[in-house]
Amino acid sequence: MNITVVGTGYVGLVTGTCLAENGNNVICVDIDENKVNRMKNGEVPIYEPHLDVLFERNIEAGRLNFTTNLIQGLDHAEVIFLALPTPEDEDGSADLKYVLGVAQEIGQHITDYKVIVDKSTVPVGTAEKVEATIAANTSTEFDVVSNPEFLREGFAVDDFLKPERIVVGTSSQRAEEIMHRLYKPFVRSGNPIIFMDEKSAELTKYAANSFLATKITFMNEIANYCQIVGADVDKVRIGMGTDSRIGKRFLFPGIGYGGSCFPKDVKALHKSGQDVNHKFKILDAVVEVNEAQKTILFPQINNHFGGNLKGKTISIWGLAFKPETDDIREAPSLYMIEKLLEAGAKIKAFDPEAMENVKQKLGDKIQFVDNMYEATQNTDALLICTEWSIFRTPNFSKLKAQMNDAVIFDGRNLYDIDEMTEAGFKYTSIGRTA
């Protein structure tokens, strides 16, 4: 099929590349000329495992092309994906200016039937708005479909190529058939393509992300309570998670959820509720608990140093909001850094992928080093903010010998408490007491 993807951010790029990988002819459109030129030369503008291989292969095969020319993209395709940013407005709602701006241009230019697919996470009622915007500018036939993405950063290629489910919201038989033809090759395993109305599809995405954020937050509250009463949250987690109604996944406590999706989507669903006088009380609590969770280790670090962090060096392992990404949006590490700097601490940080992004944000406010052990050289304490695999099995004797004091604050519960005590570390984690 001929497909155009408008917007080459994270979602658009993965969507375009994976659709090309499945034999479709894809044009990706972006207004950023510099980025488009870099992509034409085979440069992947984001870090996402496996994307580079697919990217190169499909560009070489001529199935994946890039342009700044939206009209060229519109002429090319039967299906047009909108993968545009929907940034958080000041009031927490999703700003639709990019989506509706492109919808207007689509209306002004299409001359034959098109399926317009909302791929971005958009509030309930957006498909209707996109449809009205296009219709106001054309008499050509078209359908608008809501097809939320469920990609996880770090696993996006796999999630796209082998989805657990695909949700498609449309009330048009013609669009349903086209979407079915497009996605059938991705669900050969028997996983479902779930068709529904547009509004339900739009809400499915918000409900799924908000539920997962709630699940994590619930576990964080349990962890904080475990800490007080002397229970071990890891044991509670396993005890709970083996009930298949609860499930093992997304029960890992830590220093809060971050990223470009959960924080934004929880707030946007909350705001959409408010707009129709529906108060999502549970989401209020989720936002509040998560905000506090990001810096939950700060008082413990501060207490360890007797309330005086001035001149102390704290090393940080992990800056990205989660492993396998260079994304630092809403990363708990940034909140901890802010608190520590405010208190007068010096910070030495290492992350396998995200240092460049933090450098751009913080400049020389903190020191960046090339590897995990350089970070812990002559340091007063180590703080772990992201559970990258390389941090899971460090050489503890080397670590202990290097550090001024063998003190670890672990925001991701990477190590066994007894082993740490035996190795002579003062070890603090989330929801577990030594």
Which residues make up the interface to ligand UGA (CB under 6 A)? 121, 149-153, 209, 212, 216, 250-252, 254, 257-259, 261-262, 321-322
**Does 205 show up as a binding residue in the annotation?**
yes
The span from the CA of 240 to the CA of 217, in Å, is 15
**Does 35 show up as a binding residue in the annotation?**
yes
Residues 201, 147: contact at Cβ < 8 Å? yes
DSSP tally for the chain: helices H, then strands E: 18, 14
Q: Is 226 a catalytic residue?
A: no
Exactly one of 18, 28, 226, 261 is catalytic; which is it?
261
**Does 264 show up as a binding residue in the annotation?**
yes
CB of 11 to ligand UGA, least distance (A): 7
Q: Round to the nearest angstrom and report the end-to-end CA distance of the chain.
A: 59
Q: Pick between residue 107 and residue 253 the one whose CB is nearest to ligand UGA.
A: 253
Q: Pick between residue 332 and residue 394 the one whose CB is nearest to ligand UGA.
A: 332
SS3 199: helix
CB of 154 to ligand UGA, least distance (A): 7
**Does 325 show up as a binding residue in the annotation?**
no
CB of 21 to ligand UGA, least distance (A): 19
CB of 68 to ligand UGA, least distance (A): 25
Residue 88 gets which letter from DSSP?
B
The span from the CA of 174 to the CA of 50, in Å, is 34
Q: Pick between residue 59 and residue 328 the one whose CB is nearest to ligand UGA.
A: 328
Longest dimension (CA), the chain: 75
**Does 121 show up as a binding residue in the annotation?**
yes
Residues 412, 346: contact at Cβ < 8 Å? no
CB of 177 to ligand UGA, least distance (A): 26
**Does 141 show up as a binding residue in the annotation?**
no
**Does 75 show up as a binding residue in the annotation?**
no
Strand partners, 29: 6, 67
Residues 133, 125: contact at Cβ < 8 Å? no
Tokens 């409900």 label which residue? 207
Q: Pick between residue 198 and residue 234 the one whose CB is nearest to ligand UGA.
A: 234
Q: Pick between residue 259 and residue 394 the one whose CB is nearest to ligand UGA.
A: 259
The span from the CA of 64 to the CA of 22, in Å, is 11
Nearest by Cα to 338 from 305, 308, 373, 314: 314
The span from the CA of 133 to the CA of 175, in Å, is 18
CB of 10 to ligand UGA, least distance (A): 8
**Does 258 show up as a binding residue in the annotation?**
yes
Q: Pick between residue 333 and residue 428 the one whose CB is nearest to ligand UGA.
A: 333
- If phi > 0 it is left, if psi is from -120 to 50 it is alpha, else beta; for residue 170 that is beta
Q: What is the DSSP code string of 166-192?
A: EEEE-S-HHHHHHHHHHHGGGGTTS--
SS3 160: helix
Other Cβ atoms within 10 Å of 125 Cβ, number: 15
**Does 399 show up as a binding residue in the annotation?**
no
Q: Give the CA dihedral 156, 161, 165, 170, nearest 10 degrees.
A: 100
Nearest by Cα to 155 from 268, 322, 318, 370: 322
Annotated binding site for substrate: 150-153, 205, 250-254, 258, 322
The catalytic residue positions are 261
Annotated binding site: 30, 35, 86, 121, 150-153, 205, 250-254, 258, 264, 322, 329
Annotated binding site for NAD(+): 30, 35, 86, 121, 153, 264, 329
